[in-house]
Structure 1
Amino acid sequence: MRLAVLLSAGLPPTRAWTHLAEDDDPLLAAAARVAEAGGDVGAVLAAAGGAWAEVAAVWTVAVETGAPLAATLRDVVGALREAAEVGADVRVALAEPTATARLLGWLPLLGIPLGAALGFDSAGILLSDPRGMFCLAAGAALVAVAQAWSRRLSRRARPPTSVPGLRAQLWAVALSAGVSADRARDVVDAAMPGSVCGEPADEAARTIAFAHRAGVPAAELLRADAWLARHRARTDGRTAAARLSTRLLLPLGVCTLPAFLLLGVVPMMLGVLRSGALP
């Protein structure tokens, strides 16, 4: 956003990057040096990865198509901020079921100190009695399976790291600069391949074909597609979080509760039998 403000104030890109490099950020300093030398700033930003890859794609598309840098950065940075808010909303929604599953996953291990607190030598039985050793091995295996199962469910519910709708947004930038659809496709594909942005490369092409048939501006439809992709990502993320709360009950019922019985209840029963309290 600072870059967009500096460019809006009338500073050339080289001076804008020089001012940003005063924060002693190595990446910004490298970008400033490349800009002064007339090199490809987008390549420097893309090499940094992470969120800078999206900024690099925006910069590259704007430079290659001749779109105004300041307006383009303001427009797309707003979309990137909205996409970041979508990811944050989904992570917050996933935090509670994930934390609950992580906490309950270690519940069986509390059975051992619980038995000791009640006066039973649960640890001794689990380590010396053959039946206790079997319970220890089976309970530990069930705990490991429950943890791995819960982590897998949590990973599947996480939102993708790509920015929803970014490809459509970049197409809109390119077309707004007055380039042809074929040129826009080449520039956007070079700046952000489909494997990076996570969106089908032909989705924007279908929107452009529809715009041509309907006789409406394709750029506006593409911006609408980008907004819809971010809205859909937020909805899908919240739905996945709600489903995760239910799906995490599976490892709890199948593995965690039986492991608690094996590590907590069964050793106490064996201790009662060993002491002769039962006939």
Structure 2
Amino acid sequence: MTRLRVLRRVLAALPGAAPPDDDGPARVARTTRRLAVLLGAGVAPGSAWRHLALEADADARTRSATVSVGLAADGPDDEAGPTNDHRADAAVLSAVADAAAHGGDLPAAIAAIADQETGAGARTAWAGLAAAWQVAAISGAPLGVCLRDLAGSLRELDRIGRDVGTALAGPSATARLVLWLPLVAVLLGMALGFDTLRTLFATPPGLCCLAAGVVFLIVGARWSSALSARAARRDPAPGLSLDLVAVAMAGGGAAPAARSIVEEACERFAVPYDGATIAGVLALSARAGIPAGELLRGEAEQQRDQARSDGERAAAILATRLMIPLGVCVLPAFLLVGVAPLLLSVVTSTTLGF
């Protein structure tokens, strides 16, 4: 069984194809929405951040206690990751509250949260909140209203990420599953009474088949992972820069000044800036003589709808493209590791019988 364990470890070490789950935009949207409500009720920014920090700390303690009980009863639990996220949220919210209480640079303190995040969606969402805060402060836009609109945009970004992740989950899981076919073939040979493990590990032809099969599996796994990563690659925040320009325009400033404020904030906090689309929307607004805010928000919603459609299309294409490494790499590995040792065992036993 030691040899079987070696095969299982080799397969488990192969790179996975599933994209990581990133719930960062949802967490940032929840924080932004609560900030908007508190500020709209007349709470000072420093006090608002402090209230959120205390709530996040209490939430993290509750989740930690729940997970500890689950670990004691059932063993390791997948809730440990979310608990760490909430604990980190409590720490960074407290840091932002301290910066607000001491008259520090709030956008910079918010942006520091992004540097501690691992997911691209979470980093961009926190950076977007920092940029929106700076844009509203400079342009004179009502902060509570702006944050309320931003929270809606972040919730939509989270839905896009989840929809695309769900669409990619099927092809990615299939790619991961078929990598176990060679081991299934080995187990099938053993169930039929053939010593396929001895053939693989103790005979020169078997060792050659094993080495070639492992190479094919590694190439197939890396190929599948590369295809999945390419399909999952997308703009983490479609339309966010247009929303920021709408925030700046809400302060009553001119379009060129609003563009300049947003461009500076996007550059400072590494938020993608869609200058060409913004220029086109502002030009249309000027020609038609209508406010640019609704046009900008409408264009941002259109970009997010397009991002969702592009993600679903990429997932459909991925399901077909994953058949290539399956046929070119996984199938030969299946034949080399599962079928060839079976045939060698039959030939060997037949030869010894004569």
Q: If the length of structure 1 is used for normalisation, what is the TM-score? A: 0.93
Percent identical residues: 49
- The C-alpha deviation readout for 1:186-206, integer Å capped at 9, x for no partner, is 221222239933453332122
How big is the shift at 1:93?
A: 1.0
How big is the shift at 1:252?
A: 0.8
| Residue equivalent to 2:92 | 27
Q: Aligned partner of 1:193: which letter?
A: E
| Residue equivalent to 2:104 | 39
Separation in structure 1 between the aligned mates of residue 190 and residue 52 of structure 2, nearest angstrom: 62
Separation in structure 1 between the aligned mates of residue 273 and residue 197 of structure 2, nearest angstrom: 54
Q: Aligned partner of 1:255: which letter?
A: C
User: Within the alignment, does 1:7 sit opposite 2:81 as a pair?
Assistant: no
- The C-alpha deviation readout for 1:97-142, integer Å capped at 9, x for no partner, is 1111101112112222221211112122222322222211111111
Q: Which contiguous aligned blocks of 4+ residues in structure 1 show a shift greater than 4 angstroms? A: none
Q: How does 1:142-161 map to 2 (within 5 A)?
A: 142-160=216-234
User: Within the alignment, does 1:97 sit opposite 2:171 as a pair?
Assistant: yes
Moved more, 109-118 or 76-85: 109-118
Moved more, 204-213 or 66-75: 204-213
How many residues are aligned here?
A: 279
Show structure 2 runs of 5+ residues with no match: 1-32, 58-89, 115-122
Q: Aligned partner of 1:38: which letter?
A: G
CA contact (8 A) 2:160 2:307 kept: yes
- The C-alpha deviation readout for 1:47-70, integer Å capped at 9, x for no partner, is 110232221111111111110011
| Residue equivalent to 1:130 | 204
Any idea what SS the aligned residue of 1:276 has?
Answer: helix
Q: Aligned partner of 1:13: which letter?
A: P
Q: How does 1:197-276 map to 2 (within 5 A)?
A: 197-276=271-350
Separation in structure 1 between the aligned mates of residue 269 and residue 138 of structure 2, nearest angstrom: 21
Residues 18/133 of structure 1: CA separation in 2 closer, same or farther (3 Å cut)? closer
Q: Aligned partner of 2:319: which letter?
A: S
Separation in structure 2 between the aligned mates of residue 142 and residue 52 of structure 1, nearest angstrom: 42
CA contact (8 A) 2:263 2:273 kept: no
CA contact (8 A) 1:126 1:133 kept: yes
Any idea what SS the aligned residue of 2:193 has?
Answer: coil
Residues 161/208 of structure 1: CA separation in 2 closer, same or farther (3 Å cut)? closer
Separation in structure 2 between the aligned mates of residue 132 and residue 117 of structure 1, nearest angstrom: 18
Q: Aligned partner of 1:31: which letter?
A: V
How big is the shift at 1:243?
A: 1.0
Show structure 1 runs of 5+ residues with no match: none
Q: Aligned partner of 1:2: which letter?
A: R
Residues 21/276 of structure 1: CA separation in 2 closer, same or farther (3 Å cut)? closer
How big is the shift at 1:32?
A: 1.6
Q: Aligned partner of 2:321: which letter?
A: R
User: Within the alignment, does 1:179 sit opposite 2:211 as a pair?
Assistant: no
CA contact (8 A) 1:153 1:244 kept: yes
Residues 194/17 of structure 1: CA separation in 2 closer, same or farther (3 Å cut)? closer
How big is the shift at 1:164?
A: 1.2
